[in-house]
Amino acid sequence: MTNAIVLLSGGLDSTTALAWARKEKQWSCHTIAFDYGQRHRIELQAAAKVSHILGAVKHHEIKLDMRSIGGSALTDSIDVPKDHSDSDAIPITYVPARNLIFLSLAAALAEQVEATRIIIGANIVDYSGYPDCRPAFLNAFETTVNLGTKQGVEKSPMKIEAPLLDMTKEEIIALGLRLGVDYSMTHSCYDPSKDGRSCGHCDSCLFRQQGFFNLGKQDPLTYAS
Amino acid sequence: MTNAIVLLSGGLDSTTALAWARKEKQWSCHTIAFDYGQRHRIELQAAAKVSHILGAVKHHEIKLDMRSIGGSALTDSIDVPKDHSDSDAIPITYVPARNLIFLSLAAALAEQVEATRIIIGANIVDYSGYPDCRPAFLNAFETTVNLGTKQGVEKSPMKIEAPLLDMTKEEIIALGLRLGVDYSMTHSCYDPSKDGRSCGHCDSCLFRQQGFFNLGKQDPLTYAS
């Protein structure tokens, strides 16, 4: 039985990646989510729910105070940009070294539960903007983790799996729907209202809405505006 | 002016690495320490003191709950081995992926303060046992961090510096003494008593004592036994 760790934010991409690992690959999965001071902490509830419904062995929530490092609209008091106000540059919602940190913690958990796969929902929608979603980075990380861990050196090496890497948002949603994912339990918004509704205007909401629209499907979420 | 991040545990090696960066290189340094549920939390006080005395710009203490991952005598209720009871294998005090995680968080801080150097006190005493102290790992990490961060991709790449890598414990102590380090402010023990005294029998104490002995110098610490 293949044992896998799935980075699970509770969003559309990571939920689909978990469904792929569980239903398409039939892997035994531990899910890991991070409480890192993000303003959209509501995603943590979504992650726990998604993990349970998709039959993960265990959900691990790691508390990590990245506010003391700072530097992103996702954790600081900087405003989240709305309606694609940003240019082609790396967006202000970039959190310094986030996937490097998250993958490293996932590797630690992988050693503990003897998992040989680490699954991340990175995809082309992200990797234009975020360098830590790009294939070259993921490949280099795989090399590094196998040189720097007991598991990589002594036992079976770890493989970083990014099953959505070449997919557009609508292809990801189509895959998830085919695997029976109920997207009403996911959360994508970077800047939700206090009652938990998605803003409908941040990059994450816009990409999600565009994906459902292009596919001709209804997004089951209700938006604040 | 070169800006550096120094991984500072408050132990002998990282303190010497900081002294090297400050006094030999005259770099501007931010220090970073991790509160990761280690049983030897007293090292955090040593780190803060060392950072101040050696003139770091700022000391950053990052809280990270690794107990939820588990798997090491340093964080769990597993006994710390005494008097070199361990074999040549990777020791039970190995914390899964620790340096990978610590270096990743240091990279995030480096992006914030625009540092181009990350300094780690890894050395040959460690890297027989701990894969995450070996040169191949450190080189692979440097490649990875420069592919996966805004700083590496857009601006000046980061360099991982391990100035003690080829040194024995006595060479490290000799370097520190030459640079004026007061080793009474450092803490090395994995299993200190409640009043903060070092046990004198864990691997970390034994390597330290051996280092001072080989150099013909007095270790300024008092030991419990």
Q: Are B107 and A98 an interchain contact pair (Cβ–Cβ within 8 Å)? A: no
CA distances A178 to A10, A13, A173, B114, B119, Å, are 19, 14, 9, 45, 48
Q: Give the number of other CB atoms < 10 A from CB of residue A121.
A: 25
Q: Are B145 and A70 an interchain contact pair (Cβ–Cβ within 8 Å)? A: no
pLDDT at B19: 98
Work out the mean pLDDT of chain A and round it to a whole number.
Answer: 88
Nearest to B62 among A65, A98, A136 (CB): A65
A59-116 tens-digit pLDDT: 999 988 876 776 666 666 667 777 765 555 666 666 778 899 999 999 999 998 999 9
Residue among B51, B13, B23, B30 nearest B164 (CA): B13
Q: Is A105 on the interface with B (CB under 8 A)?
A: yes
pLDDT at B225: 74
Best of A147, A154, A158, A160 to mutate (most B CBs within 10 Å, chain B): A147
Work out the mean pLDDT of chain B and round it to a whole number.
Answer: 88
Q: Are A149 and B100 an interchain contact pair (Cβ–Cβ within 8 Å)? A: yes
pLDDT at A74: 63
The CATH class for the domain spanning A3-168 reads: alpha beta
Q: Is B94 on the interface with A (CB under 8 A)?
A: yes
Domain B3-215 has CATH 3.40.50.300: no
- Separation of CA A107 from chain center: 15
